[in-house]
Amino acid sequence: DVKVTQSSRYLVKRTGEKVFLECVQDMDHENMFWYRQDPGLGLRLIYFSYDVKMKEKGDIPEGYSVSREKKERFSLILESASTNQTSMYLCASRSRSRSGANVLTFGAGSRLTVL
C-alpha cells in the first residue's frame, strides 16, 4: 500500500515564524499535492508538483511556497506565519486504486496553530 507520511501531526507556532511542513511518499510517485482544510470550506489546493523541482500554484498559494528537491519529498513552507494560516494541512500523492483509477492518497494531516 502507498504510504504518505507527514512529519508533524500538531504544531504550534508564533506569528512571523517560518514554518516547514514535510511530506514523504514511498512509491516513487511524480504528482504530489498540498491542500488546506477549513470547516465549511472543504479542501483547497495550495500547490502541487508533477516532478522534481516542478511546481504549480493551486487556488490559494498566497503566503506559501513549496520545495521538491527529491521525488519522494514535498515540503510546504510558510515564510512568515500568520494567524489566518491556522488550519489542517493535508499532503497527497497520486496513485492507483485497486480498481485502477488515478486517486489521491493522503497523509494523516498536520494541524497548525499560529498564535
Partner 1 sequence: AQKITQTQPGMFVQEKEAVTLDCTYDTSDPSYGLFWYKQPSSGEMIFLIYQGSYDQQNATEGRYSLNFQKARKSANLVISASQLGDSAMYFCAMREGEAGRRALTFGSGTRLQVQP
90 binding partner 1? (CB under 8 A): yes
105 binding partner 1? (CB under 8 A): yes
C-alpha cell read off for 28? 516513487
64 binding partner 1? (CB under 8 A): no
Give dist(CA 11, CA 88) in Å, integer.
10
C-alpha cell read off for 90? 493535508
* DSSP per-residue letters across 5-40: EES-SEEEE-TT--EEE-EEESS--S-EEEEEEETT
Q: How many C-beta atoms lie closer than 10 Å to residue 14's C-beta?
A: 10
97 binding partner 1? (CB under 8 A): yes
- Of 68 and 94, nearer to partner 1 (C-beta) is 94
- Work out which of 50, 61, 63, 73 binds partner 1, going by CB under 8 A: 50
- Of 51 and 79, nearer to partner 1 (C-beta) is 51
Instruction: Catalog residues that contact partner 1 under the rule CB under 8 A.
Output: 31, 33, 35, 40-45, 48, 50, 56, 58, 88, 90, 92, 94, 97, 99, 101-109, 111
